[in-house]
Amino acid sequence: MFQQSQFTPAWWLKNPHLQTLSAKWLKRKQHINTITETIELPDGDFIDIDWTEKPSANNTKPIVVVLHGLEGSKESHYAKGILSAIQAKGWIGLLMHFRGCSGRPNRHISSYHSGDTRDIRYLSSLLKQRYQACKFGLIGYSLGGNVAVKYLASLEENSQHIYQCAAVICAPLHLSSCSDRINRGFSKVYQNYLVTMLKQHALEKLQSHKISHLNTKKLSAIKTVREFDQHVTAPLNNFLDAEDYYQKASGRDDLAKISLPCLIIHAQDDPFLSHADITDIDTLPDNIEFEVSQFGGHVGFIGSNQFAKPYFWLEQKIPDYLQDYL
């Protein structure tokens, strides 16, 4: 069910771009110590995961798995913030890096995309085997939020879920319209930043002869997210083209298939996302709480207290929601 969010932005941060950019700037000096573990995958590739604390075999503390956004990592401002908030609750945080995002290139030609649930599925199964005495939560930000939706929607309703609850933050649940939205106005600044990083990783694979359908000239000519998905994401992941990828990987129409308690937070002014298309949903099951805020930007949600000191609302809201189930 849709709900109006109670988030109130700091009075000087009502602009969506200030919300989006200030979040990264204000967190620039934050550091969190983590323990890295490499997980070997069934297909011969690997992912790196980062723990706030390595659990014992008989661990009873809740474990919360975090999925980052496009080209994100444990150094992303929202990742550092939520992992610290998880620690403060006395829980254990685990950030799963998507393939190629931990600072080491992955082994295969393909890496990750918005609908790729292989690795969170394998990791979840592994966690369930390792730690049988605790509860689990799942948080997905941006692209990781869409991946979380696709994964949770694929689970059988009567199966024994590893996760008791989930939260999805600023997810591009309708990929085609979101790729158009980020190609307009000031949002092109974010697009250029993301496309530059995506192209750098693609260039590394091209130079190591993992990619053969592109050359450096064609790769350099790519300027938009849609062009990158058309010429790189789609062919490397067996989609016909960008639109085929967007249609099959978008999570919006899969929300009703999620059977566990799930909080979705979305800002109307998100400069990465198309509000009208993401919220074009007739009905939602009672276990889905879809909160829509007028303000917040993209993974910003910076409020202020009576002394005008900024605080990160998501770092309070998400743990408070999860606590009811963990």
- How buried is 279 (Cβ within 10 angstroms: 0-12 exposed, 13-18 middle, 19+ buried)? middle
Q: How far is CA 158 from CA 75, 154, 254, in A?
A: 37, 12, 17
Is 280 labeled as catalytic in the residue annotation? no
Comparing C-alpha atoms, which of 217, 212, 264, 216 is closest to residue 235? Answer: 212
Whole-angstrom distance, CA of residue 259 vs CA of residue 106: 33
Cα separation, 200 vs 195, whole angstroms: 8
> Which position among 68, 174, 266, 298 bears the catalytic label?
298
Residue 270 bears catalytic tag: yes
Q: Does the annotation count 142 as an active-site position?
A: yes
Classified as helix, coil or strand, 197 is: helix
Q: Please list, in sequence order, all residues whose beta carbon lies within 8 angstroms of the beta carbon of residue 294, skipping any fewer than 6 positions away.
A: 5, 267, 268, 269
8 A C-beta contact, residue 91 and residue 63: yes
User: Under DSSP, is residue 264 helix (H, G, I), strand (E, B) or coil?
Assistant: strand
Which listed residue (177, 270, 274, 293) is catalytic? 270
The residues carrying an active-site annotation are: 142, 270, 298
